[in-house]
Amino acid sequence: MTLPAVEKLIDELTEALAPCFTDPASHPIIVGIETGGAWIAERIHARIAPNTELGRLNISFYRDDFTRIGLHPTVKPSSLPPGIDDATVILVDDVLHSGRTVRAAMNELFDYGRPRRILLAILIDRGQREIPIQADFVGAMLELDAGSHIKLEGPDNLSLVIKTVDSNAG
Protein backbone atom coordinates (compact mmCIF):
# COMPACT_ATOMS: atom_id res chain seq x y z
CA MET A 1 0.00 0.00 0.00
CA THR A 2 1.32 3.43 -0.90
CA LEU A 3 0.90 5.87 1.95
CA PRO A 4 0.11 9.53 1.28
CA ALA A 5 2.74 12.22 1.87
CA VAL A 6 2.19 13.76 5.30
CA GLU A 7 3.14 17.32 4.31
CA LYS A 8 0.67 17.23 1.40
CA LEU A 9 -2.10 16.10 3.77
CA ILE A 10 -1.21 18.88 6.20
CA ASP A 11 -1.38 21.39 3.33
CA GLU A 12 -4.86 20.12 2.44
CA LEU A 13 -6.03 20.30 6.05
CA THR A 14 -4.62 23.83 6.36
CA GLU A 15 -6.50 24.93 3.25
CA ALA A 16 -9.73 23.36 4.50
CA LEU A 17 -9.36 25.01 7.94
CA ALA A 18 -8.56 28.50 6.59
CA PRO A 19 -12.22 29.69 6.62
CA CYS A 20 -12.35 29.04 10.38
CA PHE A 21 -9.94 31.94 10.86
CA THR A 22 -11.74 34.58 8.78
CA ASP A 23 -13.98 35.60 11.69
CA PRO A 24 -11.80 36.45 14.70
CA ALA A 25 -14.95 36.73 16.83
CA SER A 26 -15.15 32.93 16.77
CA HIS A 27 -11.88 32.94 18.75
CA PRO A 28 -10.35 29.89 17.03
CA ILE A 29 -7.81 27.86 19.01
CA ILE A 30 -5.84 24.96 17.55
CA VAL A 31 -5.29 22.10 20.02
CA GLY A 32 -3.21 19.03 19.18
CA ILE A 33 -3.53 15.68 20.92
CA GLU A 34 -0.08 14.40 21.93
CA THR A 35 1.97 13.24 20.30
CA GLY A 36 1.19 13.01 16.59
CA GLY A 37 -1.75 15.40 16.72
CA ALA A 38 0.42 18.00 18.45
CA TRP A 39 3.05 17.74 15.70
CA ILE A 40 0.38 18.29 13.04
CA ALA A 41 -1.27 21.11 15.02
CA GLU A 42 2.07 22.94 15.27
CA ARG A 43 2.52 22.82 11.50
CA ILE A 44 -1.06 23.92 10.76
CA HIS A 45 -0.76 26.72 13.33
CA ALA A 46 2.49 28.00 11.78
CA ARG A 47 0.95 28.01 8.28
CA ILE A 48 -2.50 29.37 8.95
CA ALA A 49 -2.66 31.40 12.13
CA PRO A 50 0.65 32.00 13.91
CA ASN A 51 -0.91 34.87 15.90
CA THR A 52 -3.64 32.69 17.41
CA GLU A 53 -3.35 30.43 20.42
CA LEU A 54 -2.03 26.87 20.25
CA GLY A 55 -2.64 24.14 22.80
CA ARG A 56 -1.53 20.56 23.51
CA LEU A 57 -3.50 17.84 25.25
CA ASN A 58 -2.00 14.86 27.04
CA ILE A 59 -5.03 12.64 27.52
CA SER A 60 -3.33 9.84 29.48
CA PHE A 61 -5.57 10.17 32.54
CA TYR A 62 -8.69 10.40 30.38
CA ARG A 63 -8.25 7.17 28.40
CA ASP A 64 -10.65 4.35 29.18
CA ASP A 65 -8.69 1.63 27.42
CA PHE A 66 -5.01 2.07 28.22
CA THR A 67 -4.76 -1.02 30.44
CA ARG A 68 -6.65 -3.19 27.96
CA ILE A 69 -4.47 -2.28 24.97
CA GLY A 70 -1.23 -2.17 26.92
CA LEU A 71 -0.47 1.53 26.80
CA HIS A 72 2.00 2.72 29.39
CA PRO A 73 1.31 6.44 29.43
CA THR A 74 3.91 9.05 30.01
CA VAL A 75 1.87 11.60 31.88
CA LYS A 76 2.82 15.16 31.09
CA PRO A 77 0.69 18.20 31.71
CA SER A 78 -1.56 19.53 29.01
CA SER A 79 -1.01 23.06 27.83
CA LEU A 80 -4.16 24.96 26.92
CA PRO A 81 -4.63 28.68 26.50
CA PRO A 82 -6.62 30.29 29.30
CA GLY A 83 -10.25 30.87 28.57
CA ILE A 84 -11.45 28.30 26.07
CA ASP A 85 -15.00 29.30 27.02
CA ASP A 86 -16.94 30.35 23.90
CA ALA A 87 -13.96 29.59 21.65
CA THR A 88 -13.97 27.44 18.55
CA VAL A 89 -11.53 24.65 19.36
CA ILE A 90 -9.97 22.92 16.37
CA LEU A 91 -8.95 19.58 17.81
CA VAL A 92 -6.19 17.90 15.77
CA ASP A 93 -5.01 14.29 15.82
CA ASP A 94 -3.03 12.02 13.54
CA VAL A 95 -5.24 8.92 13.25
CA LEU A 96 -8.94 8.43 13.95
CA HIS A 97 -9.82 4.81 14.50
CA SER A 98 -12.02 3.70 17.42
CA GLY A 99 -12.93 7.24 18.55
CA ARG A 100 -11.69 6.67 22.10
CA THR A 101 -8.79 9.12 21.87
CA VAL A 102 -11.06 11.91 20.67
CA ARG A 103 -13.63 11.13 23.37
CA ALA A 104 -10.90 11.37 26.00
CA ALA A 105 -9.68 14.66 24.53
CA MET A 106 -13.16 16.17 24.62
CA ASN A 107 -13.59 15.09 28.24
CA GLU A 108 -10.38 16.89 29.13
CA LEU A 109 -11.32 20.00 27.13
CA PHE A 110 -14.55 20.33 29.09
CA ASP A 111 -12.59 20.17 32.34
CA TYR A 112 -10.90 23.40 31.19
CA GLY A 113 -14.06 25.21 30.09
CA ARG A 114 -16.96 25.20 27.65
CA PRO A 115 -15.97 25.81 24.04
CA ARG A 116 -18.57 27.28 21.69
CA ARG A 117 -17.83 24.39 19.36
CA ILE A 118 -15.23 21.73 18.70
CA LEU A 119 -14.14 20.92 15.16
CA LEU A 120 -12.14 17.74 14.57
CA ALA A 121 -9.28 17.70 12.05
CA ILE A 122 -7.68 14.30 11.39
CA LEU A 123 -4.72 13.40 9.20
CA ILE A 124 -5.83 9.78 8.60
CA ASP A 125 -9.31 8.34 9.17
CA ARG A 126 -9.19 4.54 9.17
CA GLY A 127 -12.83 3.93 10.12
CA GLN A 128 -13.92 1.04 12.35
CA ARG A 129 -15.40 3.17 15.16
CA GLU A 130 -16.30 1.91 18.58
CA ILE A 131 -17.73 5.29 19.59
CA PRO A 132 -19.80 7.56 17.30
CA ILE A 133 -17.16 10.21 16.60
CA GLN A 134 -16.83 11.77 13.14
CA ALA A 135 -14.14 14.14 11.85
CA ASP A 136 -15.05 17.50 10.30
CA PHE A 137 -11.80 17.65 8.29
CA VAL A 138 -9.91 14.59 7.02
CA GLY A 139 -6.59 14.45 5.17
CA ALA A 140 -7.10 10.89 3.85
CA MET A 141 -9.17 7.78 4.49
CA LEU A 142 -7.37 4.44 4.64
CA GLU A 143 -8.70 0.95 5.18
CA LEU A 144 -6.36 -1.37 7.03
CA ASP A 145 -6.60 -4.98 8.11
CA ALA A 146 -7.81 -5.49 11.67
CA GLY A 147 -4.31 -6.43 12.91
CA SER A 148 -2.63 -3.41 11.33
CA HIS A 149 -1.97 -0.01 12.84
CA ILE A 150 -0.87 3.21 11.21
CA LYS A 151 1.48 5.46 13.11
CA LEU A 152 2.82 8.94 12.52
CA GLU A 153 6.55 9.13 13.17
CA GLY A 154 8.45 12.35 13.72
CA PRO A 155 8.63 15.04 14.93
CA ASP A 156 11.12 16.55 12.46
CA ASN A 157 10.39 14.64 9.25
CA LEU A 158 6.85 13.35 9.61
CA SER A 159 6.06 10.05 7.94
CA LEU A 160 3.38 7.40 8.15
CA VAL A 161 4.25 3.78 8.95
CA ILE A 162 1.99 0.72 8.96
CA LYS A 163 2.71 -1.86 11.62
CA THR A 164 1.15 -5.30 11.76
CA VAL A 165 0.50 -6.98 15.08
CA ASP A 166 1.22 -10.71 15.04
CA SER A 167 -1.75 -12.30 16.80
CA ASN A 168 0.22 -15.54 17.19
CA ALA A 169 3.10 -13.92 19.06
CA GLY A 170 3.12 -14.59 22.64
Please compute the mean of the pLDDT values over residues 4-28 and round it to a whole number: 92
Per-residue pLDDT at 68 exceeds 90: no
Q: How many CA atoms are closer than 13 Å to the CA of 166, on its beta-carbon side?
A: 3
Question: What pLDDT does 72 receive?
Answer: 59
In a domain, residue 156? The reply is no
In a domain, residue 154? The reply is no
In a domain, residue 86? The reply is yes
In a domain, residue 169? The reply is no
Amino acid type, 84: I
The boundaries of the domain holding residue 43 are: 6-144
- The total domain count for the chain is 1
CATH number, domain with residue 111: 3.40.50.2020
- Four-residue CA torsion sign, 60, 150, 18, 102: negative
Confidence class for position 167, pLDDT limits 50, 70, 90:
low
Do 81 and 29 form a contact (C-beta atoms < 8 A)? yes
Model pLDDT for residues 83-117, shown as the tens digit of each residue: 899 999 999 999 999 999 999 999 999 999 999 99
